[in-house]
A and B are shown apart, each in its own frame.
Chain A
Amino acid sequence: MTLAIDAHGLKKSFGDTLAVDGVDLTVRGGTVYGVLGPNGAGKTTTIRMLATLLTPDAGSASILGYDIVREADAVRGLVSLTGQLASVDEDLTGRENLILIGRLLGLRGGAAKRRASELLAAFGLSDAAGKLVKHFSGGMRRRLDIAASIVVTPQLMFLDEPTTGLDPRSRNQVWGIIRALVAEGTTILLCTQYLEEADRLADRIAVIDRGRVIAEGTPSELKASVGSGALRVRLLDPDQRDAAAHVLERELGEVVLEADPAALSVSCASGDRAAETVAELSRGGIRVAGFSLAQPSLDEVFLALTGTTAQAAADESTDRDKQEQPA
């Protein structure tokens, strides 16, 4: 079976900055492939090369069997791009945007209009169809953006940070749309900064940092390689923190005392163990104000894989990021 994406050693630099430094990706058809990394890691540049918007300096890639450089036009006939900046025309209405894309893809007059109406209804945008997109909310804009990407259903869809900056409700709507696309057989390359998003949607994930893939696997493989999540406990009485630390250390291992004098955390993989431990605190007369069991965050994934945090990596590559998206 032909791979949806087969990329080897892709490289791209802007001036002196190496944005992508030898990326390999293998994506099977009909799956969601997550590309996870901080700002400036090279995700957008990679997507732009695969979507034929940039020519790689080195390496090669094929999309559904077509070379992204030599057969760029054939590639464009199979893919859709939903960019990080919403790829819709702000100065047109929602309906006009969809008719425009429909006509450009070969739908004639009436067919383009009917398709626009159908998509507006399916994406819950019928009421706003006549409004200029610049007056849309972030969530509406994203939905319109994705609708524009499926005016004619692509075989492969690139989604570059589709939920960054969205409120939880809009984010869930976008996730629902992505699940529907996958259910109908579209392959999706999903770039994201959020482990949770990749975890929920992706079949496989590549973690990318400074232009390189530093880890690859299924979400559970990845999380296992990173280690556990953390149980964080906040006490009513800071004076009890030493006693609490004693209990947590006995039950789960090394305790981290946080800056907040009433808070402490300990690494913990299992929800059951966390619950038992919190119960143990109560039995010991320690009063708990609140507790949470967090999944490993992207920061922890990065810490584990690179020895530096995602935030630090993003700060460090701020210049690279500016290069990556020329204003």
Chain B
Amino acid sequence: MSIAPTPTADTALTDADEAAVRTAITSISRPPRASRTSAALTFGWRGMLKVKHVPEQLLDVTITPVMFVVMFTYLFGGAIAGSTAEYLNYILPAILVMSVLFTTVYSGVALNTDLTKGVVDRFRSLPIWRPAPLVGSLIGDSVRYVIAGTVIIVLGVILGFRPGAGVLGCVAALGLVVLFAFGLSWVFTTLGLILRSPNAVMNAGFMGIFPLTFLSNVFVEPDTLPAALEAFVDVNPISILSTAARGLMEGDAAAADIVIVLAVAAGLTAVFMPLTTRLYAKR
């Protein structure tokens, strides 16, 4: 047992410092609370700042889509559609759908990683709209989806993709895919709060999204499939999404498809956003 050294003048906070702290305490009065939108957008800004500090994070939304486009076009194009140019017109909207939906899994992984940090306690103790941290990080993720989608479309055009509805059609298709991805992300944020580790979220997420994506019309026309499988593929929302995305790019989209896609996105949000918010509050 020893005596702790008594603080001496040079190690203590000087009077001037203490005065500065006291001034800082009194020089502020509580502003009106941040609105829901402003709180959510602030969390979106936080997501952007992280990308600014660690730009490598964008590799998965840029390199992977490039690989997918080049690989599928030249590997399967000849075999499936007879020529690479032909297949590119079929596959490009689909690769857009697949790449963006794969990225949604990372929303759950990122949330799970965030939870291990002390800053979450501060967020949860702030007088803000409860879902704001979650909505905000998904807004930030949506920016990543837009980046991934833009990379794919631009690369496709370079390789010879010529969508019938031009730039506007591509923007509309990208918008629809991002909206659907926003809805789907809530499923993975829920997983991110239930499962114990980021790895578990990643595995479970891909175990779900992989078969769902492949058992759709993303890569092949469903009428080549066995009847039971074809029936499933036809009702798979991912099929409907990629049909709608193709339609928007070509200029012949069915309104019903777009409505279904938006309804599924809204439904996923309606169920999983409150669930995620509850889990986030209790964790």
Contacts and interface: CB of A to CB of B under 8 A. Distances in A.
Interface of A: 48, 51-53, 55, 73, 76-77, 79-81, 83-93, 96, 100-101, 103-108, 111, 115, 118-119, 121-124, 132, 148, 150-153, 168-169, 172-173, 175-177, 179-181, 183-184, 186, 196, 230, 232, 265, 292-295, 297, 326-327
B227 interface: no
B125 A79 contact: yes
Interface stretch (B23-31, B174-182, B202-210, B255-263): B23-31
Contact of A122 (B21, B30, B42, B116): B21
21 contacts: A48-B121, A80-B125, A83-B122, A85-B121, A101-B122, A103-B38, A104-B128, A105-B31, A105-B33, A105-B126, A106-B30, A122-B21, A122-B24, A152-B28, A153-B26, A172-B7, A176-B12, A181-B25, A184-B26, A230-B1, A327-B116
Given A103-B38, A152-B28, A172 B13 contact: yes
Interface string B113-144: 00011110111111110001000000000000
Contacts of A106: 30-34, 38
A64 to B, nearest CB: 13
Contacts of B224: none
Contacts of B54: 91
Interface residues of B, number: 51
Contacts of A168: 4-5, 7, 11
A125 to B, nearest CB: 11
A81 B13 contact: no
B281 to A, nearest CB: 9
Given A104-B39, A184-B26, A230-B1, 10 more contacts: A51-B121, A89-B46, A103-B34, A103-B42, A104-B34, A105-B34, A106-B32, A118-B27, A122-B20, A176-B18
B231 interface: no
B217 to A, nearest CB: 39
Contact of A294 (B1, B5, B19, B43): B1
B76 to A, nearest CB: 39
Contact of A150 (B11, B18, B25): B25
Nearest 3 pairs between A and B by C-beta?
Answer: A176-B13, A85-B118, A87-B122
A166 to B, nearest CB: 12
A297 B2 CA distance: 10
A124 B13 CA distance: 10
A104 B27 CA distance: 18
B127 A73 contact: yes
Given A111-B31, A169-B11, A294-B2, A52 B125 contact: yes
B25 A92 contact: no
Given A105-B31, A172-B13, A90 B3 contact: no
A3 B269 CA distance: 42
Nearest to A91: B50
A53 B125 contact: yes
A153 B28 contact: yes
Contact of A84 (B26, B117, B118): B118
A318 to B, nearest CB: 20
Contacts of A177: 13, 18, 21
Is chain A's binding surface mostly helix, strand, loop or mixed? mixed
A183 B20 CA distance: 13
A81 B117 contact: no
Contact of A85 (B38, B117, B126): B117
Contact of B22 (A87, A100, A103, A180): A180
Nearest to A84: B118
Contacts of A326: 283
B147 interface: no
B56 interface: no
A115 B28 contact: yes
Instruction: Name which of B3, B20, B118, B282 has the most chain A CB atoms within 10 A of its CB.
Output: B118
Nearest to A154: B30
A53 B13 contact: no
Nearest to A183: B22
Nearest to B196: A327
A113 to B, nearest CB: 13
A100 B42 CA distance: 7
B11 A152 contact: no
Nearest to B50: A91
Nearest to A153: B25
Contact of B118 (A73, A88, A121, A292): A88
B125 A81 contact: yes
A102 to B, nearest CB: 9
B33 A77 contact: yes
Contact of A180 (B5, B25, B42, B53): B25
A88 B46 CA distance: 12
Contacts of A89: 46, 117, 119
Contacts of B17: 122, 124, 173, 176
Given A77-B33, A85-B121, A294-B3, A186 B24 contact: no
